[in-house]
Chain A
Amino acid sequence: MSKENMKAYWKENLGYLAILLSIWFLVSYVFGIFLVEQLNTIKFAGFKLGFWFAQQGSMYVFVILIVIYVKLMNKLDKKYGVDE
Chain B
Amino acid sequence: MGILAWTWILVGLSFTLYIGIAIWARAGTSKEFYIAGGGVPPIMNGMATAADWMSAASFISLAGIVSFTGYDGSVYLMGWTGGYVLLALLLAPYLRKFGKFTVPDFIGDRYYSSTARVVAVIAALIVSFTYVAGQMRGVGIVFSRYLEVDIDTGVYIGMAIVLFYAVLGGMKGITYTQVAQYCVLIFAFMVPAIFISFQMTGNPIPQLGFGSTGEDGIYLLDKLDGLSTELGFTEYTSGSKSMIDVFAITFALMVGTAGLPHVIVRFFTVPRVKDARASAGWALFFIAILYTTVPAVAVFARTKLIETVSNKNYSELPQWVANWEKTGLLKYEDKNGDGIVQYVADKDTNELTIDRDIMVLANPEIANLPNWVVALVGAGGLAAALSTAAGLLLVIASSISHDLIKKIINPSISEKSELWAARLSAAVAVLVAGYFGIHPPGFVAAVVALAFGLAAASFFPAIILGIFDKRMNKEGAISGMIVGLGLMTYYMAKYKLGWIGEMPAPSEWWFGISPEGFGTVAMFANFIVSVVVSRLTPAPPQEVQDIVEHIRIPSGAGEATSH
Q: Do B555 and A77 have beta carbons less than 8 Å apart?
A: yes
Q: Do B549 and A6 have beta carbons less than 8 Å apart?
A: yes
Q: Do B250 and A29 have beta carbons less than 8 Å apart?
A: yes
Q: How many A-B pairs fall under 8 Å by CB?
A: 132
Which residues of A are in contact with B by a Cβ distance under 8 Å? Answer: 1, 6, 9-10, 13, 17, 20-21, 24, 28-29, 32-34, 36-37, 40, 45-48, 51-52, 54-56, 58-60, 62-63, 65-67, 69-70, 73-74, 77, 81-84
Which residues of B (180-213) have their CB < 8 Å from a CB of A?
A: 207-208, 210-213
Q: Top 8 nearest A-B pairs by Cβ distance?
A: A46-B219, A54-B74, A66-B281, A55-B295, A46-B211, A82-B555, A45-B211, A51-B237
Q: Do B85 and A62 have beta carbons less than 8 Å apart?
A: yes
Count of chain B residues with Cβ under 8 Å from any Cβ of A? 51
The proximity string for B residues 537-551 relative to A, scoring 1 for CB distances below 8 Å and 0 otherwise, is 000000000000100
Contacts of B237 in A (CB 8 A): 40, 48, 51
Q: Is B89 an interface residue (CB 8 A)?
A: yes
Q: How far is the CB of A42 from chain B (nearest CB, A)?
A: 13
Q: How far is the CB of A26 from chain B (nearest CB, A)?
A: 12
Binds A, one of B76-84, B137-145, B404-412: B76-84
Which residues of B are in contact with A by a Cβ distance under 8 Å? Answer: 66, 71, 73-74, 77-78, 81-82, 84-85, 88-90, 93, 207-208, 210-213, 219-222, 237-238, 243, 246-247, 250-251, 272-274, 277-278, 280-281, 284-285, 288, 291-292, 295, 549, 552-557
Q: Do B288 and A84 have beta carbons less than 8 Å apart?
A: no
Additional 12 contacts, C-beta under 8 A, given A51-B74, A73-B274, A83-B554: A6-B549, A24-B85, A29-B251, A33-B247, A46-B213, A46-B221, A54-B74, A55-B77, A58-B77, A66-B89, A67-B281, A81-B555
Q: Do B82 and A24 have beta carbons less than 8 Å apart?
A: yes
Q: Do A33 and B243 have beta carbons less than 8 Å apart?
A: yes
Contacts of B90 in A (CB 8 A): 17
Contacts of B285 in A (CB 8 A): 63
Contacts of A29 in B (CB 8 A): 247, 250-251
A–B pairs, 18, beta carbons within 8 Å: A1-B553, A28-B250, A29-B250, A36-B71, A46-B211, A46-B220, A48-B221, A55-B66, A56-B295, A58-B78, A59-B81, A59-B291, A60-B288, A62-B85, A63-B285, A65-B85, A77-B555, A84-B557
Docked pose: A40 CA to B222 CA in angstroms: 12
Partner of B274, one of A45, A65, A74: A74
Q: How far is the CB of A75 from chain B (nearest CB, A)?
A: 11
Partner of A73, one of B73, B277, B557: B277
Q: Which residue of B lies closest to A80 (CB)?
A: B553
